[in-house]
């Protein structure tokens, strides 16, 4: 790994192993923490200021998005959220890799979207190497409270993920999935 001349940020964005406590990444993370602290402290009676902070924090945010504090992110800039999406209290979106959330998504309380991965081999893990894989949430998805979405997962449009489920693999569109690990329990019939 020592022959690679890319910055740790470049390695991270490419999905390759990188060291998270690199000074540039640390500063970016501290900036995101400052913004999330400000967001979480802003009154619900001040939607203009909340929106301004989210626009500075996130990579992209659609019209009509509501995120109820507290919110936690790694960087924020790697998160894209489509119009009319609602996230209830306690969203954790660790955006080491991109997190793309579609339009009209409903996110329950205490949902975790986790892109980071760590080596299974103990020595690189001890040396603080890590990587990440993107998460994609389709349009009109409902993530029940306490759901956890793991690195590299894509969830198709209109899918419902049951409360407390752990999504370890891609889910197709138009299904209900639940459990640990989440599995498809039925297909959604459109009316």
Residue 19 CA to residue 1 CA, distance in Å, equals 11
Reply yes or no on whether 31 is catalytic.
no
8 Å CB contact between 147 and 131: no
Please state, in angstroms and as integers, the Cα–Cα distance from residue 155 to each residue in 36, 117, 138, following that order.
Answer: 26, 19, 6
Please compute Rg for the chain using Cα positions: 17
- The structure tokens listed for 191 are 């009316």
Say which residues have a Cβ less than 8 Å from residue 34's Cβ, sequence separation at least 6.
none
Query: Which alpha helices (DSSP H) does the chain contain, by range?
Result: 8-13, 23-41, 47-57, 122-126
Residues annotated as catalytic are: 118
């Amino acid at each position: 790994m020592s022959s690679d001349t890319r910055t740790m940020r470049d390695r991270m964005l490419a999905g390759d192993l990188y060291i998270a406590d690199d000074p540039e990444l640390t500063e970016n993370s501290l900036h995101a923490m400052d913004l999330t602290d400000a967001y979480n402290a802003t009154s619900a009676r001040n939607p203009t200021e909340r929106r301004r902070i989210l626009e500075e924090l996130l990579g992209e945010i659609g019209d009509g998005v509501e995120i109820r504090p507290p919110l936690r992110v790694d960087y924020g800039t790697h998160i894209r959220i489509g119009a009319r999406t609602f996230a209830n209290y306690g969203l954790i979106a660790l955006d080491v890799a991109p997190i793309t959330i579609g339009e009209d998504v409903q996110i329950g309380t205490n949902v975790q979207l986790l892109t980071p991965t760590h080596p299974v081999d103990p020595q690189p893990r001890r040396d603080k190497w890590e990587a990440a894989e993107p998460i994609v949430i389709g349009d009109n998805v409902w993530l029940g409270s306490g759901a956890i979405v793991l690195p590299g997962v894509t969830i198709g449009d209109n899918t419902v993920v049951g409360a407390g489920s752990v999504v370890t693999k891609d889910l197709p569109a138009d299904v209900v999935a639940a459990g640990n690990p989440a599995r498809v329990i039925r297909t959604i019939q459109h009316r």
